[in-house]
Amino acid sequence: MRGRVVILVALAAVLAGAGASSLTAATGAKGCPKVPTPKPTTRKRDKPKQRLDAHKRWTATFLTSCGTFTVSLAVKTSPNTTASFASLARTRFYDNTIFHRIVPGFVIQGGDPTQTSTGGPGYSVVDKPPKTLKYSVGTVAMAKSQSEPAGTSGSQYFVVTGDASFLPPDYALLGHVTKGMDVVTKIGKLGDQAETPTLIVVVRHITITGK
């Protein structure tokens, strides 16, 4: 699959994701320990053939080196996106990945094992977002390249930590943070003006649960 240059469009401007090839761990906020940077890897997966049961409530729990947060998955709004994300999590695609892009007051972005902002699972899915979708604080959505149709996603996701009211409804909705927003906020402060993390935060594992 061609490289996925992951960007978020802010009105007419492109907020470019920062490459992570030169990232080094540094001392950060209280409660977020200094941890080694995982080795970048290229990972590919098969596109899932089944959707999640829409009659259940599905959550994704992110275990990170900075704490744990839980996301309620938007299965009915984004059936293809949530099925893909759950499949990737269950096959440990996200294990030992990092938040390779942190923009204080805006978003934290992860889901790229290559740490280059261009990695993906080798396929994409589409769930066109509702025209009324607003990316409020705690919203989790999927990143895409500027040239891809609205709602396209691979593996990279972002969590909104500040004002994202300027974003058009182009990014597939994954869900909303329901627990651990304090952890997300803490991670969201660990970036500089170049959108580069000042402290490596590792996603150890993502657990998918349906009840």
Question: Which DSSP symbol is given to 93?
Answer: T
Written as six digits, the tokens of 75 are 């299965």
* Of the candidates 121, 129, 41, the residue with the CA atom closest to the CA atom of residue 87: 121
Query: Cβ distance 25 to 34 under 8 Å?
Result: yes
Is residue 30 pLDDT above 90, yes or no?
Answer: no
Catalogue the E-assigned strands of 54-156.
58-64, 67-73, 97-98, 101-103, 107-110, 125-126, 139-142, 152-153
Section 105-122 average pLDDT: 97
Is residue 19 pLDDT above 70, yes or no?
Answer: no
CATH no. of 55-210? 2.40.100.10
Contacts of 55 (CB under 8 A, 6+ apart): none
Is residue 171 pLDDT above 90, yes or no?
Answer: yes
